[in-house]
Amino acid sequence: MSFASRYLFQGIDYSNGKPVLNPEADLSAGPIGAKLWVNHDLDLRVSNEFDFSLLHEWKAKKFSLTTGYTYLWYPHREGWDPSQEFYLEASREGALNPSLSVHYDFDAGMGSYSTFGLSRGFERPIGTFTLGANLFYQDHYYGLSGFPSTEWNVHYEKSFHHNTLTPSLSRFVTWTNGGFRDENAVKSAWLFAFQVGRDF
């Protein structure tokens, strides 16, 4: 379960600056997994996004590769049609832990969005601190192409028994480019999130 000060997707605000809750459930059997992610708008008091995913993960030494399918459903969002996408996520363990994810929406969005990330963790007796950065890009996703924003973040993670606590702070920095200008311009914003997880 995560609490977030707003719902930011690639720096774009989908909750009008209001806080949200994001319940998530993950099931796995070997390399096969399933995931349900929900966005619950605390201001409107409705759950207005449900993401259902099926995935397969491969690992080889320091490399990790995940392929998957997601069905996206948007109740309580007028004019928002359900959509579907395939995605590929790749990462490598190292000094900066580079990662790349590419999602192709072949339904309502008819385009792709990608994220390139770097991060560095620092383990301490009190927990793990991680500094990270993400660069977001969209290619004709819902008719928009360009770089909506970059994200600069810091995470703290503390595990005990089967529980994990993860507070984080992010700064999304934007600039005018491609389709993200005029009425489609994205505003820079801060995001605070607090996540509680439990393994069974």
pLDDT in tens, 57-80: 999 999 999 999 999 999 999 999
pLDDT category of residue 112 using cuts at 50, 70 and 90? very high
The helix (H) or strand (E) run that includes residue 84 is: strand 83-92
In the structure encoding, which two tokens stand for residue 108, read together?
């309502």
Q: Where are the domains of the chain?
A: 51-198
In DSSP terms, 111 is beta-bridged to: 105
To the question of pTM greater than 0.85 for the whole model, the response is yes
Query: What's the whole-number mean pLDDT along residues 137-160?
Result: 97
Per-residue pLDDT at 200: 85
How far apart CA 168 and CA 163 sit, in angstroms, is 17
Tokens 């008091």 -> residue? 45
- Helix then strand count (H, E) for the chain reads 0, 16
